[in-house]
Structure 1
Amino acid sequence: MSTATTSSSTATAPGTRPRVGLKTPVVYAAAALLTLLLFLRPTPADVSTTFQFGTAAEWFTIPNASVPALLTISLLTVVMAAAAVWAFLLVRQRRRPPVWLHVVVGVAVVLAFLTYAGAGKTSVIPMVSLLAGALALSVPLVFGALSGVICERSGIINIAIEGQLLFGAFAAAVAASAAGSGYVGLVAAPLAGALVGAALAWFAVSFRVNQIIVGVVLNTLIIGLTGFLFATVLSDNRALWNTRMPLPRIRIPVLAEIPVLGPVLFNQTVLIYLMYVIVVVLQIMLFRSRWGLRTRAVGEHPKAADTVGIKVNTRRVWNTILGGAVAGLGGAFFTVGSGLAFGREMSAGNGFIALAAMILGKWNPWGAVLAALLFGFSKNLGNVLSTIGSGVPSELLLMLPYIITIFAVAGFVGRVRPPAAEGIPYTKS
């Protein structure tokens, strides 16, 4: 049998619907069952949970909502079970469950967990602080994930995101301290990240070195270099090289007064506003511009791109430098963005979590951002529950980001396919 015949036999016939697996309804059902066993059964019938939604700086104050814990968790469990049944019926019809159904189930699981954690407690669950902290913790992850999207869509595996974040944080702290302005640090951070990106591109494109190995080596190099400079130069003269130079918050009139979301989204530093702009611009540029079309062509089929006149290696080099600059900008959050001085290895593995967010988002800017926000929310959820004195074991709180990620990957993402030419050096024939 010929290759063409084999390919045509395995392809989906025209007019037929693609096969849809049972993974999503099974995950929904598992979420309902775990909520029933872990949250519903241990909850007493006569306790309540209080949620705080408002602040004093909004158009109007939303009063605290006190809900009966057992009834609320029961209703949320029914919602998850109903979603599982509906998803199963859709799968039987070879239809995929809609994205909004994933959101409903995810929100139901989080609300059930919060209701259980706050049941019978005198302290309230501050929803605005929970969301604001989640956004803050997501900032370096968003920049790092976008950096990975730019590089890997071009065919270069960027394992060096961790080093780019750390070097960006270092450069931002030093430049801001020396100049006495956090905005100078904000300019220095992407330059430092671009420098690491240039080193990655040089070894990966010019010398065709294994890109994963180069990325790991660059991470180790940056950790060692910044650690050495921190222990010598920065520690010897902290007043000059490593003082706190926070970026001021910029409150956007009217928008910042929107209940709940206003204080979270529109009372931030310029770094977070830049993040909003970069996310939107990159999504448009990657899928609605000539640059994006050529970038995706270089990452998917470089030989075909070369035949139509696209300079494959040149584009890979510049895109890797651009990706490094974006990651370096995210590194500025650790210092000038948070009002902190530089500390040894303060990126704390966020570059690798950003890589996971990029993969979870299927190499798409919007998907990568949503995955990064999921990581940030799960991290801050543990912090908030610890603050209010929840009875949830601290070990479980530390596991939350990874538990949520496992469920997300298992149920909502499915198979992911990286760019076809990712990590493969291109030699012009």
Structure 2
Amino acid sequence: MIDALVPVVIATIGAGTAIAFAALGELVTERSGVLNLGVEGEMLVGAIAAFAAASGTGSLWTGVAAGMLAGAAMALLFAFLTLTLMANQVACGLALSIFGVGLSAYVGQAYLNIVLPTQPVLPLPGLSALPVLGPMLFSHQPLVYASWMLLGAVWWFLYRSRAGLKLRSVGESPQSAHALGLPVTRIRYLATMFGGATAGVGGAFLAVMYTPMWVEGMTAGRGWIALALVVFGTWRPARVMLGAYLFGGITVAQLFAQSRGIAVPSQLLAMLPYLATVVVLVIISSNPLRIRLSTPASLGQSFRAAS
């Protein structure tokens, strides 16, 4: 029984890693009061940039860096439109996603028949030899460990650092933060670009490590799931991470069910992660007071400093 569970847990962690990167970055963005719905587009542009760089240079880590920069560039475009030009954040986020889908599909036409070398797992010395837990938790690809470090860094930044306190104050009341002398727009720019960079890394993980090939639309809605997870986790990093693995587990479960030949239509199994997203959001919405208390007060609201 335990031997059968090990590959399921390994696959679950791998499937949830890309979502975790995107969701943790979006959490930081939303904590600053910015609602960026363009995560799906940022992930796709990050994925194709990473794949193109990795296939051109032969270095997977160059690809990851390119994906991070591409995601940050997409977020910078969004920030310029919404924070400088004061465009509607919801409309710009949706446009960014559509733009990212189209741009990645266009650029990716030249890479459809290329397969990158498989990135081997990196067992952690000593820990990977532990019975059961070793193979489950300490024999993964390097970016999986990086996602855990990102979780710790985001938690520490938000709740233990002065910079995190400033960011949260901007998200709660930008007017008060500005009155105290905080550079509200600059903080929001940096938070938005951070979210774009981590979304780009999530896309890069998919393209150069998880499935080392380019497929049009390969994120398959993970960016939208990441957005839902921020709400699901009530803007708390640990809950968001657990949610990412929950949806990763649902994805893996439907793949295992298909491989076992369970007599359920494959289309129904493939829709399970998205059906779970809807169900979770409905359950969360049944307690509007909890959502209202957890949501950054200025989320989605533009801010212009008084002249």
* TM-score scaled by length of structure 1: 0.66
Is the 8 Å Cα contact of residues 154 and 315 (structure 1) preserved in structure 2? yes
1:410 maps to 2:283: yes
Partner of 1:311: 183
Task: Name the SS of the counterpart of 1:336 in structure 2.
Answer: helix
Task: Name the SS of the counterpart of 1:259 in structure 2.
Answer: coil
The AA in structure 1 aligned to 2:175 is K
Partner of 1:277: 149
Partner of 2:197: 325
Distance 1:325 1:412 in 2: 29
Distance 2:63 2:273 in 1: 30
Is the 8 Å Cα contact of residues 167 and 328 (structure 1) preserved in structure 2? yes
Partner of 2:92: 214
- Give the CA deviation at 1:390: 3.6
Distance 1:385 1:396 in 2: 11
- Give the CA deviation at 1:408: 7.9
Distance 1:347 1:289 in 2: 33
1:420 maps to 2:292: no
Distance 2:62 2:267 in 1: 40
Residue of 17, 21, 25 corresponding to 1:143: 21
Per-residue CA deviations over 1:328-380 (Å, capped at 9, x if unaligned) read 11111111122422121111111001111111001111111111111111111
Residue of 287, 306, 313 corresponding to 2:159: 287
- Give the CA deviation at 1:271: 0.9
Distance 1:420 1:407 in 2: 22
Partner of 1:224: 102
Distance 1:349 1:268 in 2: 24
- Give the CA deviation at 1:246: 3.4
Distance 1:360 1:253 in 2: 35
The AA in structure 2 aligned to 1:137 is A
- How do 1:253-268 and structure 2 match up within 5 A? 253-268=125-140
Partner of 1:351: 223
Structure 1 residues 292 and 213, CA, compared in 2 at 3 Å: closer, same or farther?
same
More helix by share: 2
Structure 1 residues 321 and 130, CA, compared in 2 at 3 Å: closer, same or farther?
same
Per-residue CA deviations over 1:371-397 (Å, capped at 9, x if unaligned) read 111111111112112223345665663
Is the 8 Å Cα contact of residues 173 and 243 (structure 1) preserved in structure 2? no
Is the 8 Å Cα contact of residues 176 and 245 (structure 1) preserved in structure 2? no
Partner of 2:169: 297
1:186 maps to 2:64: yes
% same residue: 35
Structure 1 residues 410 and 234, CA, compared in 2 at 3 Å: closer, same or farther?
closer
Distance 2:25 2:97 in 1: 15
Distance 1:159 1:328 in 2: 14
- How do 1:91-110 and structure 2 match up within 5 A? none
Distance 1:129 1:353 in 2: 23
Distance 1:243 1:396 in 2: 29
Partner of 1:195: 73
Partner of 1:174: 52
| Count of residue pairs the alignment pairs up | 301
Structure 1 residues 395 and 160, CA, compared in 2 at 3 Å: closer, same or farther?
closer
Distance 1:130 1:408 in 2: 25
The AA in structure 2 aligned to 1:291 is A
Per-residue CA deviations over 1:232-267 (Å, capped at 9, x if unaligned) read x435xx6xxx44143332111221122333212211
Distance 1:204 1:399 in 2: 33
Larger C-alpha radius of gyration, 1 or 2? 1
Distance 1:144 1:379 in 2: 17
Is the 8 Å Cα contact of residues 246 and 335 (structure 1) preserved in structure 2? no
Residue of 40, 45, 55 corresponding to 1:162: 40
Structure 1 residues 387 and 243, CA, compared in 2 at 3 Å: closer, same or farther?
closer
- Give the CA deviation at 1:276: 0.8
Structure 1 residues 290 and 271, CA, compared in 2 at 3 Å: closer, same or farther?
same
* TM-score scaled by length of structure 2: 0.91
- Specify which structure has the bigger relative contact order, considering alpha-carbon pairs within 8 angstroms and separated by 6 or more residues: 2
Please give the root-mean-square deviation of Cα atoms over the aligned residues, in Å. Answer: 2.1
- Give the CA deviation at 1:188: 1.1
Gap regions ≥5 residues in structure 2: none
Per-residue CA deviations over 1:195-229 (Å, capped at 9, x if unaligned) read 01101110010111011111111111121112112
Is the 8 Å Cα contact of residues 177 and 245 (structure 1) preserved in structure 2? no
- How do 1:69-108 and structure 2 match up within 5 A? none
Task: Name the SS of the counterpart of 2:119 in structure 1.
Answer: coil
Partner of 1:28: none
1:134 maps to 2:7: no
Partner of 2:251: 379
Is the 8 Å Cα contact of residues 232 and 280 (structure 2) preserved in structure 1? no
Structure 1 residues 410 and 282, CA, compared in 2 at 3 Å: closer, same or farther?
same
Partner of 2:269: 397
Gap regions ≥5 residues in structure 1: 1-50, 55-125
Structure 1 residues 379 and 321, CA, compared in 2 at 3 Å: closer, same or farther?
same
Is the 8 Å Cα contact of residues 232 and 284 (structure 2) preserved in structure 1? no
Distance 2:149 2:141 in 1: 13
